[in-house]
Structures are given as C-alpha cells and as structure tokens.
A and B are shown apart, each in its own frame.
Chain A
Amino acid sequence: MDLALPGVLPVLNAGAVVRAIRFGLAVGGAVAPRSVFARKNYFYPDLPKGYQISQFELPVVVGGEILIAVEGAEKRVRLTRAHLEEDAGKSLHEDFHGMSGIDLNRAGTPLLEIVSEPDLRSAKEAVAYAKTLHSLVRWIGICDGNMQEGSFRCDANVSVRRPGAPLGTRCEIKNLNSFRFLEKAIDFEVRRQVELIEDGGKVVQETRLWDPQKGETRSMRSKEDAQDYRYFPDPDLLPLEITPQAIARERDALPELPVAMRERFIAGHGLPASDATTLTASKALADYFEAMVKAVGGEPKTCANWVLGEFSALLNRLEVEADAGPVAPVALAGLVKRVLDGIISGKSAKDVFAAMAAGEGEADAIIEAKGLRQVSDAGAIEAIVDEVLAGNAKQVEDYRAGKEKAFNSLVGQVMKASRGKANPGQVNEILKRKLGEDAGPGGLAS
C-alpha cells in the first residue's frame, strides 16, 4: 500500500522483474537488457503520488506472440510489448452516499501490462486471446488469474472498418472484469460503432466504461480532454538492467509451455488435437493427465477420456481446479486399470468413480465393498445364459428371424440376471455361440 507520504521512495520489486522475464520467454518476446521506468503524471485521488511509475519508451518485454484457437482454427496474435508499472488505488463510488471512497491497498503494487497488436477480428477472438493469456500466466506461475480481485484485468480497444479499409478509429473500453463482459462489451461496441457510421456519424477516439448492469458502454473521457502525462524517466529508480544470466536462470526454471505440451500429446500420445487443446488449457489439468498416464503405464487415450469426461465434469460441478479435486491422479489410474483388466465393467466404473469422488476410498476397496467385480467364469455365465434363453423364447425366435435388436435385448437380460457383474464381452460371445448351436433343426423353438 502506498500513501505517498512525504519522503517515501519507490523500490523495484524483484519478484515482478522475474515474472516479467518469465512472461517474455513464454511468449517468445525479447527481454530488454535495459529498460527504464518513467513517471506518468496526472492528478486523481486514487493515484497518491500524483504520478504513476510505468515504463514508457523502453519496456521490459518487446514483441512475442500468443497462439489462440477459435472454433477449431488456429491464429497467431502478435504482442507489441509488456511493461512493468505500479497499480493505482481503487475509487469506490457506490458505497458512500454522495461521496467517493478511495481504497489504496493495491496502490503501488507491481503489475505487468501486456499490449497486443491489432490482430483480433471479433469478440470471440478477443475472448480466446484473453483466455489463452489467462491460462498462460497461470501456467508459468506469474499470476493467480483471479479476475474478481483484479489480479487479471483487461481493457479492449475496438474499431470497425469496411473490408479492405485501414483500421478505423478506436475506443478503449475499461472495467471488463470477466470474459463474459469482455465479449458482451466488444459486441455492443461494434454494434454501436457500425450504427454510428451507418447513420453518417463518425467514431471519436475516447475511453468508454462498460456498464454491466445496463449492458452498454458509455463515454468516460474523450481524446479532446486527453491529458498531457508529461512522461519523464523516474529519477528515484535506476534503469532496470537484466543480465543474460538472469534470463537463462528463468529459462531453465520455466515449465514446458502449453504449446509444446500440446504438440507432445498429439505426436507422442497420439491424442486427437481437440483433446490435446483441452488438456493443455490449464497446467493443473495437463499435469493431472500426465501423472495419470504415468500411473496407468500408458493408455493415454483412455486416460484422456476419463480426465476430459467424468473428472472434468466433477471439477465443473465442484468449481475447483484439477489439483484441488477430490480424486488424485494415481487413484483414478487405479480405477482405470481395473477397467482395463476387465475386473469391472465401464458402467460400474462410473459408479466406483462417483463413490471415490464422495470420499469412499480407493477403487479396489469400493469394488469389493459393492461387489462390483465382473463375473468372468464361463461356466457361471453359461448357466445364466441358458436360463435367459429358456425364459425368452420370443426374443430367440425374433433373433433367428433376423431381428438383430433381439440380441441386444437378450444381452440386457443376461446382464440384469447377473446384476451387472457379468463380463459383457464374454456374455456376447457365449450368447452368440448358444444361439448358433441351437439354430439347427430340432431346435428349441421348432
């Protein structure tokens, strides 16, 4: 918290610099060996010093790109720069009658502002970009991504143009604290600008505020009253010099990036691209998947199905991250192994999983306790099949008359009679054999 008391001086936050380096490396940007802090001067009550320390001419990261996927298509979004600056406080206009409150708790805390080139063409792309960025900063451990608390915020610059024409005049939209608002605000703003131009009007460059209650943007300040920020290098802070050693240290500490991991999942594990994309949307999920494949000892596609199916559904229901879910990857692997060795059926596996999610213990214990072990003893299954065939003469006749559906009904009957425990593969096999045997003259139905 910075109250800007007389005599107090700023000191660069070393952790923020490390995070900026990590980001630069993760997006393939250039980490500047020398960057400079500047003062952006303006008066506002939530800006206690009367200036914001930022980077102006020489930012810490230059260039880089983010790979996004929109409706199956991949797209590269170029980054202009990322610079370190201090946060301002918060003005609270709603909570005080006729007055504004100022919360200076976050004033002076460091933040990294990431600026992209005008490469995004729709609200959907903007959201995909923001989500990818959101995932990346959490992936490399530089931000918790909490949008409600403002750890991850975005402003959107929106302009419209006729096909082939140069970029139109842009408006900057502020106060977008969720991906949903980002999408709605951009869509609203696009409509507003198109209507304005179609009515013969002109877009003026301005800053607009998103009003989530009314679902619209409204003008905050226009470029005419844009201030002269009188930027100059901050004499209280020396230029930031980053050595190649410091960059190398961060490069070594950086985890495998999502793009690389996705490629590996496709090429190495043979997963479909869509699975790989979803699995690498969050580091926690990707790590979960990797740990599970390791514990199972292969079968990546089966693991992916479980992670993206039952497990993700559970996470969504509980609204938690993969690393905070109630079922550990080794535990889920234990369950999947039982399915793979045919101990339980896929259907009962789902019940076992539900029990595991409810905290009833490990897969094997639940299987035993609930008696879900499949019956794979051919003699036992044959006895049940004989019983079912004897009691369902109509279906047998239908099957023999060529009605394939009748076979499924018979399988169902057998499974029901075994209370779900019969190995379905074996049931199929035995049933087919028996129906074939009895197909000769003098059969049951003759």
Chain B
Amino acid sequence: MHDRPLAALAAGLAAREFSSEELVRHQLDRIARLDKGLNAFITVDEEKALAAARAADARLAKGEGGPLAGIPIAHKDLFCAKGWKTTCGSKMLSDWIAPYDAHVVERFAREGAVLVGKTNMDEFAMGSSNESSFFGPVRNPWDRSRVPGGSSGGSAAAVAARLVPGATGTDTGGSIRQPASLCGVSGIRPTYGAVSRYGMVAFASSLDQGGAFGESAEDLALMLNAMAGFDPRDSTSVERPPEDYRRDLPKPVAGLRVGLPKEYFTKDLAPDVAACVTGAIDELKRQGAVPVEISLPNQHLAVPVYYVIAPAEASSNLSRFDGVRYGFRAPEYADLNDLYRKTRAQGFGAEVKRRILVGAYVLSHGYYDAYYLQAQKVRRLIARDFTEAFKACDVIAGPAAPTVAFPIGEKSDDPVQMYLEDLYTISVNLAGLPGLSVPCGFGAHGLPVGLQLIGNYFDEARMLQVAHRYQLATDWHRRRPMGPNLGWPPGKSSSAWRRMRSCPPRPRSSPAHPPPSAPRPTRRPRPWISRCPGCCRC
C-alpha cells in the first residue's frame, strides 16, 4: 500500500478497496520497523491514530469522506495538536503538550486525515540539515550517513521512506523545498498568507509559511486544498475565495514562459545538480514551454538579508520561552534573572542561541538602522526583482538546493556553509512568493536532486500544473530509496538499484523525443551552466 501516492490511496479508500484502519496499521507498522534507522518521528501515537482511522472509516462508510478522509499523515512538530507533544525539536518544549489545534491541524482533521505522528525537525526550524534537533539528527533514507535537509527534514524523510504518504512542513528560508530536494520528494511552500500560521510555533513571522510534502504535485494540490484558506486568527492570513489547486493539472504547458534566472546557474551550483535541473527544463521545453532568461539582480543579497531579518524576528518570538509558564525550567536558580539565564542557556541549542544573539544585536540601539532597516529595504528590492521577472515569464525554474544531500556532520560546525544551503530558496521567502520542489533526477552518489519552481503571488495552481505535467513525463518522483531497511524494491541488489536511480530520466512515453541523455552537439551552449566532470549527463 505504501508505494501508492496519496491521490491513489484516497481513491482506494473511497472505493473501499481497503479501510483506513488497514492503511494506518500498515503505515504504523512501517514506522515501527523503519524509523529506528531514520529518526524521522519525534512522536508516534498508535492509539490516537487508530481511533482517528476508525472514525474516518465510519465517515467513509457513510460516503462523507473528502479526498483526505482516512489518509495517514504526519505534522511537523511545530504545529500544535491538542493532546500531542509539540516539541519544535527543542529541549525547551520537549515535554510540552499542546492544549489546542493549529489551523493546519484543524483543517486536516476536518477533512478526516489521520494524524499518526509528529516529525522531527531542526530546533525551532533553524537549520538546513536537521542536525540541530534536540531529538537527534534525521537520516536521509537514500543514504543514512547523510542529512535529509532541513528544517522539515523529518517530514521529508518520512515521505521519502513512504512511512506516510503526506506530511506537513514549514518553510521560512527553504525548509520545505531544500529537504524535498535532498530526499527526492515533492514539497510546496505556498504564498505567504495562503495558509494560516495560527498554532504554528513561530520562527520568523514575516517569512514562515506552512506547506506540505507528498510524492507528487497532485498530492500537494490535494493537501493544499485542505490547508489553505482564510483564518481570522492570523492577521497576515489573506482573505480570498477558496480555490481548487488541482484545477489546472490537466492543462498542457505548451506556450508557458519558464523564467531561468541567470543568477541561479553559476559556479555556486554543483554541476551534477545543474545537469539534472537542465534536464528537467529540457523536458518542459519538449512539452512546448518557452524558456526565458531572466535576471534577479539582488539575488546575491538574499542570504545576508535573510540572516538579519529572520534572527531579528526569532530573537523576539523566542522570548516567550522563559521557563515561567510552561516548558523547560532550569532546575536550580538564584533569582529571577538567573531563572531566565539558566533556563534559556540550558533549554536552547547552539544554533538557536546563535540566532537569538544575532537578532538581538541587529535590533539593538545604534545598530537597528544599519542592519534591520537596511535589510528591510533590500528585501523590498528583492521582491521587486521578482515582480519585474514575472512580467516576462509565468513561472520561474531553477535548482532548489545547491548540492545533493551532504554527510551528517559536514557542515554542522560551519554556519555560513550551512546558510548557503538556502541560496536558491531564501529570496522566495523574502518576497513572500510560493515555491515548490519536485524530484528531477539523481546527482552525485546517486542522490536525489530537486527542481524548484517559483510562482507569482497566489499562483500555486500554475506551479502545480507545471510540476504535474513534468511528473506525467518522468518517474523521478516514483523512485524510492532502497536498502535492507526500506523494503523496496524487493529482490534487487543494491548495486543494481544504485545504477537504476543514478541514470538519466527516461520519459515514459515520448518516442518522438530523443533520449535526453544523448549528447546534443548542435544545441547552443548555455553559458550559465558550467560543465560538470562527474554527473550522469555529461
């Protein structure tokens, strides 16, 4: 069952091919067997999950179920779910049980989705590798010595290993798209304001946005249908008529203008990743999409600007964790200030402390104008770049992450290297735009690579359409990590699998089209892509 995408499982449930209880039991069994090696979950609650599954079955029996009724899902552990531990991957909240449901949790529950567990994450969503979690690093199902990306690494890994068909995440600087890329799954970050942040523990309020992971773009559309919509409890939630994010999936992409930012295809991009992304763009071209070179001139400022604004907001958002009302409190302290000092020193990890310090610094008297205010000005320039770019194109394509998954520990002592993981995703957050990542091949070490698509404001449907048309012609998103512990594919040796997953895409039905792997000497060289020595396509 677990090898079917969410949309197919929904069809199976609706047809009463199997019950939600059977499906949930199957997934719980997989989690029990496989998650020891991945650490994708912080909490799994069989009892609650099975009760919800039975309730979903009752709804389905009455023909009341929506598209998500009975589907097992997981929430990133910063969405408050009533009665569930909601830890944010931190010692600070390691035992905190949420007394209320986040908007996103409410919406999934209303649709009848079955919450099976809460996924691991970088502490307070601060990180790009899932190594900063108090509950230990998540391992990438494709290679357990490597990171899954972050901060929504647990959700990405859980979907990649087919422990759940869908999971939620949040994306403040790339925390959905980068792990989706590194884990070979589809992941979407909607437009800022599309999904309510109510009940989603804040990292950087002006950048945070809830989103989802699934196998395919269609899965994402289904989940987004449940999650998106106005919520008066979040003042930044945008009031718009509800929309069906699946509506454009059947439309072909012929004539659609795909913007290729020249700043994305530079030497900063690993050649193996560049080759896969270029291959994906070729496929869109084959379908009649029109590539347009665009420029995002302030792109190089995105990471520095982000690392002023995000820590500034975080330093204030995390002030509530003071040991006074809930969560961790230092066991011994002399007075009030000592209580604050010790609680926060012991309760937060190194990366969180680093960002609180940076944030407090850039907001402090005498530095505010030079850092915070200046960063806000540049932020507007970055957003304006996109507005200009979308005059010339309908959707922007590029890499989601600069490299494939890197080994655990490789960057954990070098924050700047870690921050550069979000090179291609951060500007989207600063502009408040939607973005997604879909699998587009395998790069170095046979590890997955993601294609990032960026849409205009509230243009998720078009982004999903492009991703869906691409997935109809490719099967990267259908590939699963294998290994003795992942149970798929049965009976194949690991070397055979490695060969299989590291070869170039084979469009499922395009006889008229030459294999994209064949050298095409007649093609004009694309100056912004450097030649690569090691990838499968050169």
Q: Which A residues are within 8 Å of any B CB, using their own CB?
A: 3-12, 39, 41, 43, 45, 48-51, 102, 228, 230-232, 235-238
Contacts and interface: CB of A to CB of B under 8 A. Distances in A.
Contact of A45 (B202, B321, B324): B324
B86 interface: yes
By secondary structure, the A interface counts as: loop
Contact of A236 (B79, B236, B321, B340): B236
Nearest to A229: B365
Tell which of A6, A11, A237 has the most Cβ of chain B within 10 Å. Answer: A6
Given A5-B99, A6-B96, A45-B336, 5 more contacts: A7-B80, A235-B206, A236-B202, A236-B205, A238-B236
A11 B233 contact: yes
A135 B35 CA distance: 67
Contact of B234 (A9, A45, A102): A9
B364 A230 contact: yes
Closest A-B pairs by Cβ, 5 of them: A50-B319, A235-B206, A235-B205, A230-B363, A7-B199
A232 B102 CA distance: 26
B360 interface: yes
A4 B320 contact: yes
A239 B77 CA distance: 31
A50 to B, nearest CB: 2
Interface residues of B, number: 45
Given A6-B80, A7-B199, A43 B99 contact: no
A50 B201 contact: no
A180 B276 CA distance: 78
B340 A48 contact: no
A213 B235 CA distance: 45
B379 to A, nearest CB: 12
A365 to B, nearest CB: 57
B383 interface: no
B326 A41 contact: no
Contacts of A48: 320, 324-325
Interface in B330-386: 336, 340, 360, 363-365, 368, 372
A51 B202 contact: no
Given A7-B80, A7-B199, A50-B322, A39 B316 contact: yes
A232 B201 contact: no
B197 A51 contact: no
Given A4-B320, A5-B326, A39-B316, A230 B360 contact: yes
Contacts of A232: 312, 316, 363, 368, 372
A8 B235 CA distance: 11
28 contacts: A5-B326, A6-B80, A6-B88, A6-B201, A7-B102, A7-B198, A7-B202, A9-B197, A9-B233, A12-B235, A39-B316, A41-B363, A43-B340, A45-B322, A45-B336, A48-B324, A50-B316, A50-B319, A50-B320, A51-B319, A102-B324, A231-B368, A232-B372, A235-B204, A235-B205, A235-B236, A236-B205, A237-B235
B93 interface: yes
A123 to B, nearest CB: 34
B333 to A, nearest CB: 13
Interface string B489-511: 00000000000000000000000
A231 B367 CA distance: 12
Contacts of B316: 39, 41, 50-51, 230, 232
Nearest to B105: A7
B418 interface: no
Contacts of A230: 315-316, 360, 363-365, 368
B100 interface: yes
Contacts of A5: 80, 98-100, 326
A208 to B, nearest CB: 21
B200 interface: yes
Contact of B232 (A11, A49, A50, A51): A11
Contacts of B204: 235
A51 B235 CA distance: 18
B86 A6 contact: yes
Nearest to B92: A6
Contacts of B460: none
Contacts of B236: 235-236, 238
B313 interface: yes
Contacts of B364: 228, 230
Interface in B303-323: 312-313, 315-316, 318-322
Contacts of B336: 45
Contacts of A236: 202, 205, 235-236
Given A11-B232, A232-B363, A235-B206, A6 B320 contact: yes
A238 B432 CA distance: 14
A6 B326 CA distance: 9
A10 B319 contact: no
Interface string B167-208: 000000000000000000000000000000111111011100
Nearest to A102: B324
B235 A10 contact: yes
Tell which of A3, A5, A231 has the most Cβ of chain B within 10 Å. Answer: A5
Interface string B82-124: 0000101000010010111010000000000000000000000
B201 A7 contact: yes
Contacts of A11: 232-233, 235
Contacts of A12: 235
A41 to B, nearest CB: 5
Interface string B12-46: 00000000000000000000000000000000000
Contacts of B372: 232
Contacts of B234: 9
A17 to B, nearest CB: 13
Nearest to A10: B235
B215 to A, nearest CB: 28
Contacts of B205: 235-236
Tell which of A10, A230, A236 has the most Cβ of chain B within 10 Å. Answer: A230
A51 B316 CA distance: 7
Nearest to B196: A9
B100 A9 contact: no
A232 B206 CA distance: 12
Nearest to A40: B316
Tell which of A7, A8, A102 has the most Cβ of chain B within 10 Å. Answer: A7
B198 A9 contact: yes
Tell which of A9, A12, A43, A231 has the most Cβ of chain B within 10 Å. Answer: A9
